Amino acid sequence: MIKEAFRDLTNLLLIMAMLLLPCTLPVNAASSRTQHLIDSAERILEDQPEPAVILLREALLQINTEKDPQSASRAYYLLGESFFYLDELDSTISNYRVAAEINVEAGLDKTPFHINILGNLGYMHDVLDQKLIAMDYYEKALKIARETGQKDEIAANMANIAQLRTIQGYYKEALEYMQEVLAIDRETGDKEVMATDLNIIGRIYESWGMYDKAAGYLLEALSLDSSLGLREKMAIRYNSLGLVYKGWGKNKQALEYFNQALQIDQQLGNEEKVALRLANIGSTYLEMNETDKAIPNLEHSLAYFRENDLPSYLATTLNDLGRCYLAKNDYLKAEQYFIESADISRQYNFIRFLLNSLDQLSGIYSNSGRHREAFTILKESTLLNDSIFNAESQKKLAEFNALYKLDQKQQENELLRKNNELSKKRHIVSMLFFSLLGMVMTIVLLVVLIRLKSNQNRRLITEKENEGLKSDLEQKNKELTYNALCIIKNNETVAKIAETLEDALQSGQNGTGINNMVRKLQHLEREKSWTEFEVRFTQVHEDFYRKLNERFPDLTPNEKKLCAFLKLNMSTKDIAAITHQSVHSINVARTRLRKKLGIDQTDENLVNFLGTL
């Protein structure tokens, strides 16, 4: 209490000193005082954001934006920075935007400062998971950086775009961006930055399922960090290599890298990272079916995550421990861990983690004859899947609408800036009017004609852009309508089977029959999901199945499914999650598929081969 009161008193005295400054300055020093307020706010905003907000607002009251746009833009930008440290992200974004708009109106939109504001706006929307809007700002910043030849800003924004493209699944495009970033950073010779670039490239290849290339880039990054003696980053690279080899199905090599990362973090005293490394080691032993080795590592991590209140890590570790005890046929302990993981996931809205726990609990209840509980879990899981789809669809539509409005605002700002420029030109012409009347009349006439034509062209362009955006919105709405109908039909199917199950339970039918019905429901749901996916896939890739059947008629239905997923560049981990199989099973299936396709004795990439069909 005393420390907080002292801090508040210090802040109050600081603000009073800044606001009373005019008493000690001459009248003509008002602009100097304004700059002093802005400079003082910039020095303290990270540690004392609230006083910084007060100082900046006082400065803005004294700034004439038209006469001093640079100071106004800087003040609004710093105001956004202050709100960022106060964790008020909406206010951060709104003030950044005002600063950017002032720059555009004043013709200051080609400066490093303006590029930095656009990059920050992209980052803020990225943090808020508004990826389309974030991409728009990154691309605008990149365009200006290219026009002005600012290589550091080119590299920074391209790296941001590459990571968004990776999330969207555009791996080839992401790699092209990062290769250019790496080339720029190689010119500077900054090994630490180059190592970061190599790490990002490695993670892109990992997401793409090209583990051999991922490992190569990560090893190069590790070599650079090692030459610089950056042990903490070396641990990160070892851990990344472990994740790559684990996804590759090479669990022994994965364990070696995880243990190297663990050893460094133990020496550095990074307790949280030690817990994370042990969790990775335990999870790897679980994949190797060595549960006796997995459990001690996972329990050590679990204790740390409980003590330090890290719910996401806690939920995943509990889930892994549940799987360990399920493998040991200790269903009671397995159930306890899955239930606790599910409870935490519900509390923090970890939908993906919750679905994993519910799937495991459904299997336990079904196999032990607890049919009513199995049905309840299955019903919750179905509703969760529907809610995920609805939430993501609505979020995409809202983001698209926001992007549409943002584009309209930016077009209005651009039009205002051009109109201001025309006004200045007309003012100059009017000053010369009396001395050069004839020439001025001609110029005025030309200016009017040019302006009318320019406005007409701008209106046509704006109308076409708006029509395109509206068309895209209509398409999104059609997709949402279709998906909503699918959800309704899905819920009707679940409801009918639910009524059948409840009637069976009330009529006292035996457990084996009901258990079969539960499994049938699970099978039907998975088959229906695949059918819907296959219909949409066929619409996009019409000739793919035809060519696949013509060239390889002996493929099984499951192998055709795997081909479809690989055609979409899906990772092994994602395919395993969708098909409810282990990563190891998918890797085995990929090996068998290569043999059936006749490329097992070649270096041909499986995904590239299917992409040619």
pLDDT of residue 120 exceeding 70: yes
Predicted confidence band at 395 (pLDDT cuts at 50, 70, 90)?
A: very low
CA pair distance 131, 144, nearest whole angstrom: 20
Q: What percent of the chain has pLDDT over 90?
A: 45
pLDDT of residue 118: 94
Q: Are residues 495 and 439 in the same domain?
A: yes
CATH number at residue 551: 1.10.10
CB 264, CB 234: distance < 8 Å: yes
Residue 450 vs residue 413, higher pLDDT: 450
Which of 489, 511, 533 terminates a domain? The answer is 511
Whether 570 and 493 map to the same domain: the answer is: no
Question: Quick one: 494 and 409 in the same domain?
Answer: yes
Q: CA 427, CA 422: separation in Å to the nearest integer?
A: 9
Task: Give the C-alpha separation, 235 to 376, whole Å.
Answer: 44
| Residues 471 and 553 reside in one and the same domain | no
With a pLDDT cut of 70, the percent of the chain lying above it is 72
Q: Report how far apart, in Å, the C-alpha atoms of 251 and of each of 177, 257, 283, 498 are.
A: 31, 10, 10, 42
Residues 505 and 566 in one domain: no
Higher-pLDDT residue of 494, 324: 324
Pair (608, 551) in one structural domain: yes
Q: Is the pLDDT of residue 184 over 50?
A: yes
Torsion of the alpha carbons at 460, 462, 465 and 466, rounded to the nearest 10: -110
> How do residues 1-23 score in pLDDT, each as one tens digit?
444 444 544 454 444 444 444 44
For residues 497 and 42, which has the higher predicted lDDT (pLDDT)?
42
Report whether pLDDT(335) > 60: yes
Question: Quick one: 407 and 481 in the same domain?
Answer: yes
On whether residue 465 sits in a domain, the answer given is yes
pLDDT in tens, 519-561: 666 666 566 666 666 666 766 677 788 888 888 888 888 888 8
pLDDT score of 396: 44
Over residues 414-433, the pLDDT tens digits come to: 555 555 555 555 556 555 55
| 490 and 417 within one domain | yes
**What average pLDDT does this structure show over 310-338?**
93
The mean pLDDT of 35-63, rounded to a whole number, is 91
Structural domain includes residue 460: yes
C-beta neighbour count of 575 within 10 angstroms: 23
- Return all residues near 561 (Cβ < 8 A) that are at least 6 apart: 530, 579
pLDDT for position 238? 96
- Asked whether residue 518 carries a pLDDT value surpassing 70, the answer given is no
The per-residue pLDDT for range 141-159, each reduced to its tens digit, is 999 999 999 999 999 999 9
What pLDDT sits at residue 294?
96
In this predicted model, which residue has the larger pLDDT, 162 or 407?
Answer: 162
Put simply, whether the predicted model's pTM sits higher than 0.85 gets the answer: no
Q: What is the pLDDT of residues 277-314, one digit of tens each?
A: 999 999 999 999 999 999 999 999 999 999 999 999 99
Instruction: Average the pLDDT over 569-593 and give the result.
Output: 85
Q: Is residue 425 assigned to a domain?
A: yes
* Residue 495 sits in the same domain as residue 584: no
pLDDT band at 80 (very low <50, low <70, confident <90, very high): very high
Range of the domain at 493: 390-511
CA atoms of 109 and 157, how far apart (whole Å): 16
Who has greater pLDDT, 502 or 316? 316
pLDDT of residue 472: 57
**Domain's final residue, options 490, 511, 532:** 511
For residue 32, being part of any structural domain is answered with: no
Number of domains in the chain: 2
Q: Residue written as tokens 């990154």?
A: 138
Q: What is the mean pLDDT of the chain?
A: 81
In a domain, 410, yes or no: yes
* Reported confidence tier of residue 501, pLDDT bands at 50, 70, 90: low
Same domain assignment for residues 456 and 394 = yes
Question: Between these two residues, 121 and 438, which has the higher pLDDT value?
Answer: 121
Residue 426 lies in a domain: yes
The tens digit of pLDDT for each residue in 448-494 reads 777 777 667 667 766 666 665 665 545 554 454 445 445 445 656 66
111: left (phi over 0), alpha (psi -120 to 50) or beta: beta
pLDDT at 502: 67
Query: Is the domain of 563 the same as that of 481?
Result: no
Residues 498, 437 share a domain = yes
- Which of 494, 511, 528 terminates a domain? The answer is 511
Say if 589 falls within a structural domain: yes
556 inside domain: yes
